[in-house]
Amino acid sequence: MPWNNPKAPVQGYAPRGLDVDSKGIVWTVLSSGHFASFDRSKCKGPLNGPTAATGQQCPEGWTLYPFPGPNYKGAVENGSAESVYYDFVDRFDMLGAGKDIPIATGNLSEGLLVLVDGKFMTLRVPYPMGFYAKGLDGRIDNPQGGWKGKGIYTPIATRAPFHMEGGKGTTSKLVKFQMRPDPLAN
- Whether residue 156 is contained in a domain is answered as yes
Task: Give CA separation, 131 vs 2, 93, 97, 168, in Å.
Answer: 31, 23, 21, 16
From CA 140, how far away is CA 38, in angstroms rounded?
A: 27
First to last CA, the chain: 44
CB atoms within 10 A of CB 154: 26
Q: How does residue 55 score in pLDDT terms, banded at 50, 70 and 90?
A: low
Bridge partners for 116 per DSSP: 119
- Whether residue 28 is contained in a domain is answered as yes
Tens digits of residue pLDDT in 104-117: 998 888 889 999 99
Q: How does residue 101 score in pLDDT terms, banded at 50, 70 and 90?
A: very high
- Whether residue 3 is contained in a domain is answered as no
pLDDT at residue 53 is higher than 80: no
- Whether residue 78 is contained in a domain is answered as yes
Domain residues for the domain of 58 are 15-177
- Can you give the pLDDT at residue 140? 97
From CA 98, how far away is CA 179, in angstroms rounded?
A: 10
- Whether residue 10 is contained in a domain is answered as no
Burial zone of 58 (CB within 10 Å; 0-12 exposed, 13-18 middle, 19+ buried)? buried
- Whether residue 23 is contained in a domain is answered as yes
Residue 138: closest CA among 81, 74, 91, 70: 91
From CA 91, how far away is CA 152, in angstroms rounded?
A: 12
- Whether residue 9 is contained in a domain is answered as no
Average pLDDT over residues 38-49: 86
Count of structural domains, the chain: 1
- Whether residue 2 is contained in a domain is answered as no
Averaged pLDDT score across all residues of the chain = 88
Q: How does residue 81 score in pLDDT terms, banded at 50, 70 and 90?
A: confident
The percentage of residues in the chain with a pLDDT greater than 70, rounded to a whole number, is: 97
Q: 50: cis peptide before it, omega within 30°? A: no
More confident residue, 90 or 44: 90
